[in-house]
Amino acid sequence: MAGFGSQAGVHNTAQDLENLLARVALKDRKAFSQLYDRTSTKLFGVCFRILNNRSEAEDVIQEVYIKVWNRADQFATGRASVIAWMATIARNHAIDRYRARGKPTQQLDDHLDLQDVGPTPEQALLQADQKNQIDLCLDQLKSDHALAVRHTFLSGWSYQEAADTLNIPLNTVKTWIRRSLMQLKECLKS
């Protein structure tokens, strides 16, 4: 993926990313570059999955990193992981872009260069293992809570859309998701 990619052999531990973000909050450009290198592929994937348009996803990801640069000091350690915080920013920005464009249009040219986007066999295996672990952890949640998490984080729904679809109050959806994310975090650690 041109312009996006994590450094080979670098493991993005939560603590590493927190340290980088703390340095970014102090306007450390080198730390920002490292944070970008370690997270841009994942965030691009979030944006691309919502927008289904490589060019738009690339535009959005640049805007997301501007927000991260400007808001790094607002990250609350302990509330969410750095990657979850950044993915939420990316997701919300991509949803805003999707809604702003109105009626979706697809052109053949948008799909011509997508062949090089796929993961290597090793990456595919790692992603499959991670997906299986996430699915196992989601299965441990109450079914309606897991449904709310899946729709908001995997299908791009807003909290309000989840509340309307599940026919429950907005604050209940927010509470379910917050508690579910804490449970998922603990499950994924083990």
**Which residues neighbour 34 within 8 Å (Cβ) at sequence distance 6 or greater?**
20
CA–CA gap between residue 189 and residue 184 (Å, rounded): 9
Whether the per-residue pLDDT at 67 is higher than 50: the answer is: yes
Q: What is the pLDDT of residues 91-148, one digit of tens each?
A: 999 999 988 876 555 554 554 454 555 556 766 666 677 777 877 888 888 988 888 8
Name the pTM for this structure: 0.50
Arch. (CATH architecture) of 120-190: Orthogonal Bundle (1.10)
Please work out, in degrees rounded to the nearest 5, the angle formed at the alpha carbon of residue 18 by the alpha carbons of 29 and 33: 25
Q: pLDDT at position 10, please? A: 47
Q: Where do the domains of the chain lie?
A: 1-118, 120-190
* Cα–Cα distances in angstroms (integers) from residue 58 to residues 50, 54, 55, 135, in the given order: 12, 6, 5, 28
Q: Are 90 and 45 in contact (CB under 8 A)?
A: no
CATH number of 1-118: 1.10.1740.10
CA–CA gap between residue 66 and residue 71 (Å, rounded): 8
Structure token pair of residue 51: 């927008």
**Residue with the two structure tokens 């592929």:** 41
